[in-house]
Structures are given as structure tokens and as C-alpha cells.
């Protein structure tokens, strides 16, 4: 998401703009003017330092863009680890995330206006010529309507907007004759068939060549779309209409927005995450401000700014009021259920919501923006990046980070609003982390796991469209940019649309929504210009005073500590409701509470226990609600436990020239050999074993002696390979998958099992790499011969250390040297998800357990359940206070479990994975059963 760049003074005349846009512009101005009143707080940053950082951003952009153009173009994206283009169909499918790729040189189009913002006008001119010469929009490929709109249509329109601006200035682009706009129009017409539904909500996918209906289209059978997918079109479609005079685009986008507004849940004024495009029924009824909904809200407010239509502001304000009432629990933003908005639908947040503080700045609501931003910053300080999802007690929930720009965006807008140099320091940290952890020789690689520092072979186009714009603008002074950024609005992909469009081609038929909604009161017309005297009442330390109480919110958080138990606030005196993670089936008091909540406990023959809730059997409606939440938490806990029980991934880091630790590969662990999480990392040069499969005594022991042997998977047991290379004197082994094209991006990691015999004799560490990751090492050997790697459970810091570090004089030296580092990092690591989290683009947003409206059932195996909180506490509570409490809980749970032999727990001797798998099967079965009953 993005907000408007800024504006002019309250009440001052604004050329080319209608009176309504003056209102929006003045709001932004009032925030910006705070810059000049700043006198204290974080030390101001000198102009030189700001310029230095701005130049660093330029250099980073050149590295990303240059490598894309050199090694990937005309492909859609760069694969920065293998240094080549990602061409859809030629790489293993990554599911929904590939729907952004339409074989239309996505990254180039998405980067167009960034080039101008970064003052690279010549490169922009060349890039536009390339787009006009090379890009084909008529490919037989099924793409996401949402992604194509925000990235490609938005990219073309942003490029056009700045091309005409440059042409008018008289130096560059003199040859330009609206060619980008013509392409945008062509693309707009290609997207229109998606709107052929009775509701007017677009299908989520379209075939660029064949549209929706034709059999060759291979799409058009979908029934659902996400709210953001249907509600994030108006800026691009209206701009297209106004630039070209073809009103149809704006009309279609308006119709979709009108339909979503009609379908909002009327008592809460919230919208769900997914909706049926034919019936308009909410499919997922959870509601937040992150994945699946985010830019719907953003576009309501910005549509008002760009188009001046009051109905968009009314709608935005109505939703905003609901968000602040139910979802905002400063500093947290937590999803709720649209019908029961006092009930949290999740105990975790996703990274996409990091745009929200920026939107709050545009709205003029600075305090909660500062609070949420500060909380997010602390999560970043802990993990270097914002993980795709993190829990309310700030543990990593999904460890990926695809270099998303939302936090940088909010940082920029908060800096504009407050003028507080603190936000410049935040930006500096973002730059440092990107260079330290994500930069690879061929671009910037997404983080596969923020805890291990491992990479994914992926650099999304939004990284160039958004990240570099916001970081550059953060440090830029007005004179560093060749045009007035405040004459433009940023789309959700940070493309620039000129505000003068508001007064151009306005002949679109609109619904007069204002009169329709009689329940709206004056607060829905919250147009007042935020006054800096009120926002920062004579106090330049305003922002700092809001951040101060939150300074240690992440480090000091105890599990469950931060989440507000809503019921506590309005049922004073009553005991807080039972939380799933506290539940012990041996505790009679807990059993009593369960009964009150309508939850019954079923002891299965195999010794496990299942929980079933029948809301009608609850003592009261409040108890029924508590029961519903308890069951949801239990389901979430079970899936979390399943992930957490799996062995964490490991990292293979290439540390020799020219990689210097910048390439980190996700590796699978072994159930035998040296445990890298408990012991020490192993560093050494690599050598291929002969025979390559390692299934017999090596014929080249001199080559692998003292090195890390590379062995191919297959033909014998992993343990046998390990013994053979160990006997040849190898200090570690990397097994490379023989299944060509396999990658940890697409296949779940697994642990290499032993051979059923005693494997204590294997003492070297063994890791597994899929073929794609393995070939990165093999290619490096081909090119550089001497390739040194580090095997560990977490990537070690990149250069400058690694660049200057001498190769260890002996194996022991190297291991001793790293032992200390590994101890400290393993304390931070926490539990690692083995499964790849689902991609969180709005087309495939993070899953959450959707609360059922009625009865719900969960299977639970209390022995695991009791043991897990202790594990969680152990890994998350870093301060003494929390640890004490956790220990008490752990002790209590252990004692009570032991003291009650009558309750049968999980089957003795059954592996934990099997128990959890059973447990999840039970949950699914019960959910099905409940559905059938209904
Ligand atoms: C971008 O493509 C857009 O900002 C979109 O609205 C959601 N987020 C991605 C980047 O994270």
C-alpha cells in the first residue's frame, strides 16, 4: 500500500485540482509541515549522511536492476541465486505466486517509474523503448487479474504519467507519443472479460490471449476471490479511463467496489477475506487489515483523494471506524470474525499489514500508526526482516520474507508526517539488513527463513517497484527529485498517478451512495484538516513519547502477555476465559470450565482425547463464545505444534570468494551424525566424492580428506554414504538430490533417516540439498574451483567478516571459533517450520483457521499439548520474569500429568509425528462430521 506523497498548505490554492482534492492534499500538508517544527528527540541526520544513504539506495537499485537486465530480461523476474530469468513453465510451479508472471517482462514494467524517481532518466527512456519493442501482452498464459492490474497496468500507467511529465519539461522523451498508454488500454481491454459475473466482481484469473470463457482459456471456473483482489482496481482503471476517455474501465471498477460495500457485514461494518463472485456470500469470514483485504481499504481512501468522490471517503471512514473498534489493539492489529467482531480469529499477524501505519498517516491518525510501526520495527530488529507471519507474542509463525516493501513504505510516510529523524535511522537499518542478509552476487534474494538466513531463488518485481522508491524518497530532499512528488498519488504497487486526473474526463456515471446509507452520521465525513498543533501539541518529542512505552514490547513479551483478552475488559471481576495453551485435561477446574463452554471431552479407545463443542450446550452465550474461541485456538495450536515438532532446516552458506557468505541455501538435516543445532558449525572446502553416489569405499580419499564431501542421493542408504565419506576423512557431507529440477522452493524438506541400525559411529554432520540448491554449489566449483562452505543451523553474518576471515588453519580451530556464535544464535532461533508457508499475495493469502459459526470439534492429545507450552516458553521468553512463570507452568503440567494415571495420554512409544498426524486427521474428520450434521 502507499499513500499520497503530500500536498500543499491548508486553504492555499492548488492549481489543477478540484476543491475536494484540496481537502485531501491539505491533510497531507499538515502532516508534512511537522518536519519544520522538529527540534529534539533522535539526533538529526546531516544532509551528507542522508545523501550517502540515498546514494547507497541508488547503488543497490543498480545491483538489482542491472542483474535483472543482464541475466534475466526479457523474463518476468530474476532468479538471483542461479542468476537467470524465471520463465513460467520452465521452472517448477510455485502455485498462485506464479500467477503474477505473464511473460510480459514484469520486472521491467514494474520498474519504469522507479527509474524516474531515482533520477535515472536516460535509463527510463531506454527502458520504455524496450517495453514498446519487446513486450507482448497477448500470451496464452493465465494470470492473476489483481497482480496484472497493480503491477503491469499500474506500471504502464506510472510510466506514461512520468513520460508525459518529462516530455513537457522539454529534455527527455520528446519522441514519446502515448505509446505506453496505448499498451495500457490494450491490457485494460484484456482484463475486462474477467468482470463478466452477475455481481460485477471480477474472476481472480484470466488468460491474456483467450480471456475467461473459451475452453482454451483454462480458467473461469473459480467461484471465490479475495476482497483485495476485487477491490484494488479503481485507481488504475479510473486513471485509464481518464487518460483515454474510455469510461468503461472506471465503471467496472466502481461496480465491483459498490458490490463489496453492499456486502459488508452490516452490524460490524467489516468485510471478510474471500467472497463468492457469483452469490456475494462471504467465504472466509475473518477480517483484518493484512493479506486478502489490505489494499481494498487503501483504495477507498485513495480513490477519494484521486477522484474526489465523497462516497469513497464515507465508506473508508465507516470501515476505519470498525477497524479501530475491533481489529486495532495497539500496537497489534488482530483479525476478528465479521459476525462476532469481539472474537479474535487468529493469534498471529501477517507481514502485509505493515502498510497500515502508512495509510493511517494519510488518514491523519498518527498515534496508532506510530505504535504499530514501532512494534513491527522491534520484530524486524529481532529477526532482521519481518517474517511473513508472527504471533502475538512475537514468535515467528511463517519464517519467509520475500523482500516486501510495506514496512519501508510506512516508515517513509511516518517520517513525512512527524519529521522525526528516528525514522531515518529505521530506514538505515533496513538498508543495512538488505545488504547484509539478502544481497547476493546476482541481485537480492528473498529470505526463505529469517531465522537461519537461508535464501530463496526469487526477487519479486515489487522489490524494484516499491522498496527502492520508498527508501530513496525517505532520504531525498525536494531538490533530489526531478519533479514534484506531491503532485502524484502512489498506487498499492507504488506507481505514480497524477492528481490532475481528478478534473479530467469526469463523465462517469456514479451511484450517489451518500443518500443511501442513512445510518451514517457526521463522523463519516471526517474531513477536517489535521492540525499539527493538535497532532504534535507544541511537543517535538510527540512521536518519541508514543514509542517509548513500546520500546521493549517484543523482547519483554511473555507468551500470551501482550494479547488483550477482550472479555477481561468488559467483564471485570470475572475470571479470564480458559486459553487452549493453558488447558490440562487433568485439571478438574478446567474440565468444569469446558463443560460450561459446551465442550465435551471424548476419550478414544486408543488412549487419545478429542474435544467437541456444541454451542447450544453452553451455560450462556458468553460461555458459548468462549468455547468457540477455545476450540479455534486448539485447532491453531495443533497445526502450530505439528509444524514445530518437525526438525528445523539447516543452512549451507557459501563463504569463499566471490560469495562471502551471501548465498545461503536451505538444507535438510539428518537424524544421525553431528547435530548442528547443538554442537558447532562445520566449515570446509567441498569436493565431489568418487563414486559420486558414495555407496562404496571412495576411490578418491585424498580429494575429500579434511573437506566436505558432495555425494549424490540414491542407490544406498544415507547412513552408508556418510560412513563411506567419513572413512575417507571427510569432515562433513552434503547429499545432493538426484531428482533433477527439485528445489526446496517447491518440495517439502525432509530429514535424512538412519538405516535402522545404530548410527552413533557417524560423527560428521550431514546435510541434504535439493538439486537446484545443490547445482548452485556444483556451478560454483566449475567456475571457481575452490569453494568453501559453512554447514550450520543458521547463516553466519556475511561480509565484511567473511571476506577478511582467513580459512581456518585446522578443522578444530574453525569449530572452536564458531562454537560461541552458534550458542548465542541457537537461543534466538526458536522453533522452525519445516513446511514452506503458503505464499501470501492477496491471491493466495495466508491460511487461518476460519471460525465456524456453529459447532466445532478438535482432536487433542493432551500429553503433547501439555508438553508444548513449555517448549514454546523456552524458546520465546528471553527475560527472567517470563521464564519463572513458564517454569512454573511446565512443572505444574508435568506434576499433574504424572499424578493422574487414570487419564490415558498419547499411545506410548508412538512417534510424535505420527500422533500429531493422527490428531490432525481427527480434526479434519470431526470438522467434516460437523458439516454433515449441519
Ligand atoms: C505488492 O505487490 C503490493 O503492495 C500489494 O498491494 C501487496 N503487497 C505486495 C508486496 O508485498
Q: According to the model, what pLDDT value does residue 847 have?
A: 31
Q: Using CB atoms within 10 A of its CB, is residue 881 exposed (0-12), middle (13-18) or buried (19+)? A: exposed
Measured by CA distance, the residue closest to atom 10 of ligand 1 is 404
* C-beta 302 within 6 A of ligand 1: no
Q: Which segment of 599-613, 632-646, 750-764, 900-914 scores lowest on mean pLDDT?
A: 900-914
d(C-alpha 134, C-alpha 127), whole Å: 10
Distance between Cα 780 and ligand 1 center (Å): 33
Distance between Cα 913 and ligand 1 center (Å): 36
The answer to pTM > 0.85 is no
What is the number of the ligand 1 atom nearest to the C-alpha of 842?
7
The stretches of 419-541 forming alpha helices (DSSP H) are: 422-433, 461-462, 468-475, 513-516, 532-535
406, 493, 626, 681: the catalytic one is 406
Handedness of CA 347, 353, 356, 358 (dihedral sign): positive
Q: Is 406 a catalytic residue?
A: yes
Q: According to the model, what pLDDT value does residue 441 have?
A: 97
Q: Under a CB-based contact definition with an 8 Å cutoff, are residues 776 and 813 in contact?
A: no
Local structure of residue 344 (DSSP, 8 states): B
Cα distances from 348 to residues 332, 390, 487, in angstroms, run: 9, 5, 38
Q: Using CB atoms within 10 A of its CB, is residue 266 exposed (0-12), middle (13-18) or buried (19+)? A: exposed
Is residue 736 over pLDDT 80?
yes
Cα distances from 814 to residues 672, 791, 811, 817, 819, in angstroms, run: 22, 12, 5, 5, 9
Backbone torsions φ then ψ of 572, nearest 5 degrees: -60, 145
What is the number of the ligand 1 atom nearest to the C-alpha of 151?
2
Which cell goes with 888? 512454573
Q: Which of 100, 92, 97 is nearest to 76 (CA)?
A: 100
Q: Under a CB-based contact definition with an 8 Å cutoff, are residues 725 and 694 in contact?
A: yes
Q: According to the model, what pLDDT value does residue 799 have?
A: 57
Region 902-908: mean pLDDT is: 29
* C-beta 491 within 6 A of ligand 1: no
The stretches of 548-699 forming alpha helices (DSSP H) are: 566-570, 588-596, 621-645
844 or 155: which carries more pLDDT confidence? 155
What is the number of the ligand 1 atom nearest to the C-alpha of 355?
4
* C-beta 2 within 6 A of ligand 1: no
Distance between Cα 110 and ligand 1 center (Å): 12
Distance between Cα 232 and ligand 1 center (Å): 11
d(C-alpha 602, C-alpha 285), whole Å: 29
pLDDT tens for 437-476 read 999 999 999 999 999 999 999 999 999 999 999 999 999 9
Q: According to the model, what pLDDT value does residue 539 have?
A: 60
| Dihedral over alpha carbons 740, 745, 747, 748 (to 10 degrees) | 140
What is the number of the ligand 1 atom nearest to the C-alpha of 228?
6
* C-beta 107 within 6 A of ligand 1: no
Q: Under a CB-based contact definition with an 8 Å cutoff, are residues 274 and 224 in contact?
A: yes
d(C-alpha 652, C-alpha 548), whole Å: 39
Is residue 865 over pLDDT 80?
no
State which H helix or E strand residue 332 sits in: strand 332-333
Which strand ranges, in their side-by-side order, compose the sheet holding 348-350?
348-350, 389-391, 396-398
Who contacts 702 (Cβ-Cβ below 8 Å, separation ≥6)? none
pLDDT tens for 105-143 read 999 999 999 999 999 999 999 999 999 999 999 999 999
What is the number of the ligand 1 atom nearest to the C-alpha of 402?
11
Per DSSP, the three-state class of 287 is: strand
What is the number of the ligand 1 atom nearest to the C-alpha of 462?
2
Neighbour-count burial for 817-845, b at 16+ CB within 10 Å, e otherwise: ebeeebeebbeebbbbbbebbbbbbbbbb
State in Å, rounded, how far the first CA of the chain is from the last one. Answer: 40
Q: Under a CB-based contact definition with an 8 Å cutoff, are residues 560 and 393 in contact?
A: yes
Q: According to the model, what pLDDT value does residue 213 have?
A: 84
Q: Under a CB-based contact definition with an 8 Å cutoff, are residues 752 and 649 in contact?
A: no
d(C-alpha 192, C-alpha 606), whole Å: 57
* C-beta 683 within 6 A of ligand 1: no
* C-beta 844 within 6 A of ligand 1: no
Q: Which of 729, 728, 723, 692 is nearest to 710 (CA)?
A: 692
Q: Quick one: how far is CA 35 from the chain centroid?
A: 31
Q: Under a CB-based contact definition with an 8 Å cutoff, are residues 550 and 374 in contact?
A: yes
- Using most ligand atoms within 8 A of CB, pick from 231, 297, 302, 462 the residue to mutate for ligand 1: 462
Who contacts 893 (Cβ-Cβ below 8 Å, separation ≥6)? 584, 866, 867, 869, 870
Q: Under a CB-based contact definition with an 8 Å cutoff, are residues 752 and 670 in contact?
A: yes
Measured by CA distance, the residue closest to atom 6 of ligand 1 is 492
Measured by CA distance, the residue closest to atom 1 of ligand 1 is 493
Q: According to the model, what pLDDT value does residue 801 have?
A: 52
Backbone torsions φ then ψ of 876, nearest 5 degrees: -110, -25
* C-beta 492 within 6 A of ligand 1: yes
The residue with cell 562433513 is 732
- Using most ligand atoms within 8 A of CB, pick from 1, 293, 406 the residue to mutate for ligand 1: 406
Who contacts 360 (Cβ-Cβ below 8 Å, separation ≥6)? 366, 368, 369, 372
Per DSSP, the three-state class of 493 is: coil
* C-beta 861 within 6 A of ligand 1: no
- Peptide bond preceding 645: is omega within 30 degrees of 0, i.e. cis? no
d(C-alpha 578, C-alpha 48), whole Å: 56
Q: According to the model, what pLDDT value does residue 641 have?
A: 60
- Peptide bond preceding 853: is omega within 30 degrees of 0, i.e. cis? no
Distance between Cα 577 and ligand 1 center (Å): 37
pLDDT tens for 811-840 read 333 333 322 222 222 222 222 222 333 333
Distance between Cα 250 and ligand 1 center (Å): 22
Q: Under a CB-based contact definition with an 8 Å cutoff, are residues 446 and 643 in contact?
A: no
* C-beta 737 within 6 A of ligand 1: no
Local structure of residue 680 (DSSP, 8 states): -
Region 891-914: mean pLDDT is: 33
State which H helix or E strand residue 860 sits in: strand 856-860
List beta partners, residue 498. Answer: 488
96, 224, 374, 388: the catalytic one is 388
Distance between Cα 465 and ligand 1 center (Å): 10
Q: Is 294 a catalytic residue?
A: yes
With vertex at residue 278, the alpha carbon angle to CA 277 and CA 283, rounded to the nearest 5 degrees, is: 55
d(C-alpha 256, C-alpha 271), whole Å: 14
Per DSSP, the three-state class of 328 is: strand
- Using most ligand atoms within 8 A of CB, pick from 492, 495, 845, 846 the residue to mutate for ligand 1: 492
d(C-alpha 233, C-alpha 724), whole Å: 60
pLDDT tens for 135-157 read 999 999 999 999 999 999 999 99
Of all residues in the chain, what percent carry a pLDDT higher than 70?
73
Is residue 402 over pLDDT 60?
yes
Distance between Cα 1 and ligand 1 center (Å): 7
* C-beta 493 within 6 A of ligand 1: yes
99, 123, 147, 681: the catalytic one is 147
Mean residue pLDDT of the chain comes to 79
Per DSSP, the three-state class of 423 is: helix
Query: 106-117 vs 468-475: helix axis angle to the nearest 10?
Result: 10
Distance between Cα 493 and ligand 1 center (Å): 6
Distance between Cα 121 and ligand 1 center (Å): 25
Q: Is 147 a catalytic residue?
A: yes
d(C-alpha 324, C-alpha 165), whole Å: 39
Local structure of residue 577 (DSSP, 8 states): P
* C-beta 411 within 6 A of ligand 1: no
* C-beta 348 within 6 A of ligand 1: no
Cα distances from 106 to residues 10, 755, 924, in angstroms, run: 40, 47, 40
Distance between Cα 290 and ligand 1 center (Å): 10
* C-beta 295 within 6 A of ligand 1: yes
Per DSSP, the three-state class of 52 is: helix
Q: Which of 129, 353, 146, 144 is nearest to 236 (CA)?
A: 146
Region 543-547: mean pLDDT is: 87
Per DSSP, the three-state class of 450 is: coil
Which cell goes with 118? 531515482
* C-beta 462 within 6 A of ligand 1: yes
98, 294, 298, 449: the catalytic one is 294
The residue with cell 525536494 is 478
Q: Which segment of 205-209, 365-369, 773-777, 905-909 scores lowest on mean pLDDT?
A: 905-909
d(C-alpha 679, C-alpha 682), whole Å: 9
Distance between Cα 52 and ligand 1 center (Å): 28
Listed in order, strand segments (DSSP E) in 783-855 are: 788-792
Q: According to the model, what pLDDT value does residue 509 have?
A: 59
d(C-alpha 354, C-alpha 514), whole Å: 31
* C-beta 843 within 6 A of ligand 1: no
Q: According to the model, what pLDDT value does residue 505 have?
A: 73
Distance between Cα 384 and ligand 1 center (Å): 20
- Using most ligand atoms within 8 A of CB, pick from 352, 389, 400, 469 the residue to mutate for ligand 1: 352
Amino acid at each position: 500500500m502507499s499513500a499520497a506523497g503530500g500536498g500543499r498548505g491548508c486553504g492555499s490554492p492548488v492549481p489543477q485540482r478540484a476543491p475536494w482534492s484540496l481537502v485531501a492534499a491539505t491533510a497531507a500538508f499538515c502532516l508534512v509541515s511537522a518536519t519544520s517544527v522538529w527540534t529534539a528527540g533522535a539526533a538529526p541526520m546531516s544532509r551528507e549522511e542522508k545523501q550517502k544513504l540515498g546514494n547507497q539506495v541508488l547503488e543497490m537499485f543498480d545491483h538489482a536492476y542491472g542483474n535483472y537486465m543482464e541475466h534475466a530480461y526479457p523474463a518476468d523476474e530474476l532468479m538471483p541465486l542461479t542468476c537467470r530469468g524465471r520463465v513460467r513453465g520452465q521452472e517448477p510451479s510455485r502455485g498462485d505466486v506464479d500467477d503474477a508472471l505473464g511473460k510480459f517482462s514484469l520486472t521491467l514494467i514494474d520498474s519504469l517509474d522507479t527509474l524516474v524517481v531515482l533520477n535515472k532518466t536516460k535509463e527510463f527512456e531506454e527502458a520504455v523503448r524496450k517495453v514498446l519493442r519487446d513486450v507482448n501482452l497477448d500470451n496464452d498464459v493465465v494470470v492473476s487479474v489483481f497482480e496484472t492490474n497493480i503491477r503491469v497496468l499500474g506500471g504502464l500507467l506510472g510510466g506514461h504519467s512520468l513520460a508525459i511529465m518529462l516530455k513537457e519539461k522539454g529534455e527527455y522523451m520528446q519522441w514519446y507519443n502515448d505509446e505506453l498508454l496505448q499498451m495500457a488500454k490494450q491490457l485494460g481491454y484484456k482484463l475486462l472479460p474477467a468482470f463478466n459475473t452477475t455481481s460485477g466482481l471480477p474472476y481472480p484469473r484470466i488468460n491474456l490471449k483467450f480471456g475467461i470463457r473459451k475452453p482454451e482459456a483454462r480458467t473461469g471456473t473459480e467461484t471465490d476471490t479475495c476482497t483485495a483482489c476485487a477491490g484494488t482496481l479503481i485507481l488504475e482503471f479510473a486513471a485509464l479511463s481518464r487518460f483515454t476517455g474510455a469510461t468503461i474501465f472506471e465503471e467496472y471498477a466502481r461496480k465491483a467496489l459498490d458490490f463489496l460495500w453492499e456486502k459488508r457485514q452490516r452490524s460490524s461494518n467489516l468485510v471478510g477475506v474471500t467472497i463468492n463472485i457469483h452469490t456475494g456470500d462471504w467465504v472466509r469470514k475473518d477480517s483484518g487489515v493484512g493479506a486478502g483485504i489490505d489494499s481494498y481499504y487503501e483504495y477507498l481512501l485513495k480513490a477519494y483523494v484521486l477522484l474526489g468522490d465523497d462516497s469513497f471517503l464515507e465508506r473508508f471512514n465507516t470501515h476505519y471506524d470498525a477497524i479501530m473498534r475491533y481489529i486495532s489493539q495497539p500496537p497489534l492489529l488482530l483479525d476478528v470474525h465479521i459476525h462476532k467482531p469481539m472474537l479474535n480469529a487468529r493469534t498471529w499477524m501477517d507481514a502485509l499489514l505493515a502498510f497500515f501505519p502508512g495509510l493511517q498517516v494519510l488518514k491523519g491518525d498518527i498515534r496508532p500508526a506510530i505504535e504499530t510501526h514501532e512494534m513491527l520495527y522491534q520484530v524486524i530488529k529481532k529477526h532482521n526482516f519481518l517474517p511473513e507471519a508472527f504471533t502475538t507474542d512475537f514468535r515467528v509463525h511463517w519464517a519467509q520474507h520475500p523482500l516486501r516493501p510495506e514496512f519501508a513504505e510506512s516508515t517513509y510516510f511516518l517520517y513525512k508526517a512527524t519529521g522525526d529523524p528516528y525514522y531515518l535511522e529505521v530506514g538505515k537499518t533496513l538498508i543495512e539488513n538488505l545488504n547484509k542478509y539478502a544481497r547476493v552476487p546476482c541481485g537480492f534474494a528473498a529470505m526463505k527463513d529469517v531465522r537461519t538466513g537461508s535464501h530463496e531463488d526469487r526477487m519479486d518485481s515489487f522489490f524494484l517497484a516499491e522498496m527502492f522508491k520508498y527508501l530513496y524518497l525517505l532520504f531525498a530532499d525536494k531538490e533530489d527529485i526531478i519533479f514534484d512528488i506531491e503532485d502524484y498519488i502512489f498506487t498499492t504497487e507504488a506507481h505514480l498517478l497524477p492528481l490532475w486526473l481528478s478534473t479530467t474526463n469526469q463523465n462517469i456515471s456514479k451511484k450517489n451512495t451518500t443518500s443511501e446509507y442513512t445510518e451514517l452520521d457526521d463522523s463519516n465525513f471526517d474531513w477536517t484538516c489535521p492540525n499539527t498543533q493538535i497532532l504534535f501539541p507544541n511537543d517535538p518529542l510527540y512521536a518519541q513519547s508514543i514509542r517509548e512505552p513500546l520500546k521493549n514490547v517484543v523482547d519483554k513479551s511473555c507468551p500470551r502477555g501482550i494479547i488483550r483478552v477482550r472479555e477481561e475488559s468488559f467483564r471485570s471481576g470475572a475470571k479470564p476465559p480458559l486459553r487452549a495453551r493453558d488447558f490440562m485435561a487433568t485439571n478438574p477446574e478446567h474440565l468444569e470450565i469446558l463443560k460450561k463452554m459446551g465442550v465435551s471431552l471424548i476419550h478414544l479407545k486408543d488412549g487419545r482425547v478429542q474435544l467437541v463443542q456444541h454451542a447450544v450446550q453452553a451455560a450462556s452465550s458468553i460461555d458459548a463464545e468462549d468455547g468457540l474461541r477455545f476450540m479455534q485456538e486448539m485447532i491453531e495450536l495443533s497445526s502450530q505444534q505439528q509444524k514445530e515438532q518437525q526438525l528445523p532446516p539447516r543452512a549451507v552458506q557459501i563463504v569463499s570468494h566471490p560469495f562471502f557468505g551471501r548465498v545461503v541455501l536451505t538444507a535438510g538435516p539428518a537424524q544421525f551424525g553431528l547435530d548442528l543445532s547443538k554442537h558447532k558449525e562445520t566449515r570446509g572446502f567441498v569436493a565431489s566424492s568418487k563414486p559420486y553416489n558414495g555407496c562404496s569405499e571412495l576411490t578418491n580419499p585424498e580429494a575429500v580428506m579434511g573437506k566436505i564431501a558432495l555425494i549424490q542421493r540414491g542407490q544406498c542408504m544415507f547412513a552408508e554414504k556418510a560412513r563411506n565419506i567419513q572413512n575417507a576423512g571427510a569432515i562433513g557431507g552434503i547429499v545432493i538430490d538426484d531428482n533433477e529440477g527439485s528445489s526446496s522452493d517447491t518440495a517439502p524438506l525432509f530429514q535424512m533417516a538412519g538405516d535402522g541400525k545404530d548410527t552413533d559411529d557417524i560423527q560428521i554432520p550431514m546435510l541434504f540439498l535439493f538439486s537446484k540448491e545443490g547445482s548452485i554449489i556444483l556451478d560454483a566449483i566449475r567456475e571457481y574451483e575452490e569453494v568453501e562452505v559453512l554447514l550450520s543451523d543458521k547463516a553466519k553474518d556475511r561480509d565484511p567478516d567473511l571476506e577478511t576471515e582467513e580459512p581456518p588453519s585446522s578443522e578444530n580451530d574453525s569449530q572452536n571459533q564458531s562454537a560461541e556464535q552458534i550458542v548465542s544464535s541457537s537461543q534466538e532461533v526458536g522453533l522452525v517450520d519445516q513446511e514452506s508457508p503458503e505464499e501470501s499475495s492477496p491471491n493466495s493469502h495466508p491460511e487461518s483457521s476460519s471460525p465456524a459459526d456453529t459447532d466445532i470439534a478438535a482432536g487433542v492429545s493432551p500429553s503433547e499439548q501439555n508438553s508444548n507450552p513449555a517448549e514454546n516458553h523456552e524458546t520465546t521468553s528471553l527475560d527472567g520474569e517470563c521464564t519463572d512463570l513458564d517454569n512454573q507452568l511446565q512443572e505444574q503440567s508435568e506434576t499433574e500429568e504424572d499424578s493422574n494415571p487414570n487419564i490415558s495420554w498419547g499411545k506410548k512409544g508412538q512417534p510424535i509425528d505420527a500422533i500429531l498426524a493422527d490428531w490432525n486427521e481427527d480434526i479434519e474428520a470431526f470438522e467434516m462430521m460437523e458439516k454433515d450434521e449441519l
